[in-house]
Amino acid sequence: MLLQQISELVQIAGDFAAKRRKVLSSNEIHTKSTDTDLVTDVDRDVEALIVEKLRELTPEYGIFGEETGKSNADAPYCWVIDPIDGTTSFVRDQPFYCVSIGLRHNGIGILGAVYAPKLGELFLAEAKKGATCNGETICVSKISDLRKAVVATGFSCIRAKRKFDNMAFLPQIARATCAFRRTGSAAIDLSYVAAGKLDAFWELGLQPYDIAAGEVIVREAGGIVTDLSGAAEYPQKGLLADNGAIHQNMLSFFRPETGIRFE
């Protein structure tokens, strides 16, 4: 029942965002932590729409939203919201953006919903019940040969001017794999790993709201999510999500011996 309600909510929110994009004006576009960290009035309005509905549906649950922060977030159940993941894509009218709503119970992801309105893709997952895309069951790929793997990443660490730089990992990984993608939405990248459209996604400097829904979708589709040392301290120590078959190969790119820091 709750998954159905969240499925409807994430679609309403995504379609609302896509409609507002048609009339987006430059005075609705702002910057946040740095001059390249964009946010729009639509991000804020989408989060307000989601929060109002979630408070109605589950008044006792906590909420942690990218734009409005934490409210009762220490409650056992907490919603984690990214109203528009891929805001730069949204601003430039590119299709790779989505609404992401995750639910955590005592910090563990148990439900995920990601809706990309311009791609027409709705990814849903609930703990122990599998993952779907547009109602069809999805599962990670079976690719075990790195040379055949298609991988994705992002560069929020550069935008956030963090002390570590994901670019340092890229040359070796790009040369060792079949192809590399950079969609601009971590939540879509995670959903694409779950659907077998990508075989691995990694990034440094992500926030809980970027990944709260996507990590549940990956796991329920048979994938693995760890930090870049293979432990569970993600996303603060980086994040690696993949089909499991290439997990050890991917972790090898982030070994301490490389001398490249990720935290």
**Exposed, middle or buried by CB within 10 Å (0-12, 13-18, 19+), for 106?**
exposed
Among 121, 210, 215, 220, binds ligand IPD (CB under 6 A): 210
Minimum CB distance to ligand IPD smaller for 117 or for 154: 154
User: CA quadruple 130, 131, 137, 140: dihedral positive or negative?
Assistant: negative
When CB distances are held under 5 to 8 angstroms depending on the partner's kind, the choice from ligand IPD, Ca ion, none that residue 195 binds is: none
User: Which listed range, 49-57, 166-174, 202-210, 249-257, lies at the site for Ca ion (CB under 5 A)?
Assistant: 202-210
Distance CA 107, CA 156 (A): 23
Position 215 contacts ligand IPD (CB under 6 A): no
Q: Decide: is 210 part of the binding site for Ca ion (CB under 5 A).
A: yes
Residues in 72-131 at the binding interface with Ca ion, rule: CB under 5 A: 82, 85
Residue 154 touches which of Ca ion, ligand IPD, none (CB < 5 to 8 A by kind)?
A: ligand IPD
87 lines the binding site for ligand IPD (CB under 6 A): yes
Q: Which is nearer to Ca ion, 73 or 178 (CB)?
A: 73
Contact of 253 with 172, CB cutoff 8 Å: yes
What mask of x and - would describe binding to ligand IPD in positions 145 to 164, judged by CB under 6 A?
---------xxx--------
Distances (CA, A) of 145 to 21, 24, 175, 192: 40, 44, 13, 18
Q: Which two tokens stand for residue 125?
A: 């997952």
Q: Which pair of structure tokens corresponds to residue 73?
A: 């977030």
Alpha carbons 188 and 180: distance in angstroms, whole number: 15
| 28-47 residues near ligand IPD, rule: CB under 6 A | none
User: Given the rule CB under 5 A, which residues bind Ca ion?
Assistant: 66, 82, 85, 210
